[in-house]
Structure 1
């Protein structure tokens, strides 16, 4: 299970019940789910420390996170879990690092440096499988990032935070690993942790010995996340 609390309060969907944010299943969903990257604490902790420092405390109900999909439908949960199990079987943990900070409306985001292409490849493989039922938001383009400040009306405060974060990241690059995926159930204002899918990274010999092919497994075989690692990271 993740290091952080398994229940996270939020009211994002209650505040924005727009069609843009809802799954395209043609029915009212019992629940929706959020899919995030599971990272080692060597990068998760400094990102969360920045969020704790700069995000308005009364609105900060989640630790810093890197979201792949925002509203996955309950009616497709069995299909999605099968796909995620397949990816976790063949994917290896891969390195990531902090990149360049940028302004996002009334806040600040931090992009990925190392690992951005691998994250986008992972997202694209899943989006191709799930396109028929994704929300309009989740069907669109995706830029992997952490949001460490948002919903701040004072422009001077946002600018000062951006400059502070930019100096920090100029002096320090934070490194870690993506080691799997976490899926969360949204339930009346809370994120309830549901399940983790840890990357196992089977070898080519392992793959050849397994029967069956097609779909998300074949898309994932050629992805660069299967490369070996050259560094040791804190788990």
Structure 2
């Protein structure tokens, strides 16, 4: 049985990507994210806060969407400055379509942050001095080559005040 504090912890939804893309970005994150703040693996966030009180309803919606959906292409064209960090940009019409559908389904539950425009990315560095972020951006940008990847499902997480706990992994199983 879950404790009350865990049961009340907000949910986070991320996209599951192919193993090679995940390995590359997680390696970059481990190398460049401040270790005292790096509690989670590399990820592409779809929603930052979904209500824990609606976990079963959220899961039901995610299962329905995943059952009717096939994996789709992801493109990682370049880097994006976060001011105090660096992220890898994600370009994917399939991802934008999925995010729009889920935003419609979850519209009554979305936080102000999740109601804003969506610019998908994988954060590999954050919460560093701006000069350190500029240096990493220049160094990685000099040799960056766009790469292709694949989305293969969704991951639902519980936020635990820093670390995340995986609630469920859902695969795209449609045709």
Q: CA deviation at 1:161?
A: 0.4
Residues 1:54 and 2:28 aligned together: no
Tell me the number of residue pairs that the alignment of Structure 1 and Structure 2 aligns. 169
SS of equivalent to 2:77? strand
Q: 1:219 maps to which residue?
A: none
Looking at structure 2, the residues matched to 167 and 46 of structure 1 have their Cα atoms a distance apart, in angstroms, of 17
Looking at structure 1, the residues matched to 152 and 69 of structure 2 have their Cα atoms a distance apart, in angstroms, of 9
In the superposition, the TM-score normalised over structure 2's length comes to 0.90
Looking at structure 2, the residues matched to 98 and 127 of structure 1 have their Cα atoms a distance apart, in angstroms, of 23
SS of equivalent to 1:110? strand
Q: What does 1:63-212 align with in structure 2 at a 5 Å threshold?
A: 63-113=41-91, 116-155=92-131, 157-169=132-144, 172-202=145-175
Runs of 4+ in 1 over 6 A off after TM superposition: none
Q: Deviations over 1:136-186 (max 9, x none)?
A: 11111110001111111151x2222001221232xx333221100000112
Q: CA deviation at 1:74?
A: 1.4
CA RMSD of superposed structures (Å): 1.5
Gaps of 5+ in 1: 1-28, 203-235
SS of equivalent to 1:59? coil
In the superposition, the TM-score normalised over structure 1's length comes to 0.68
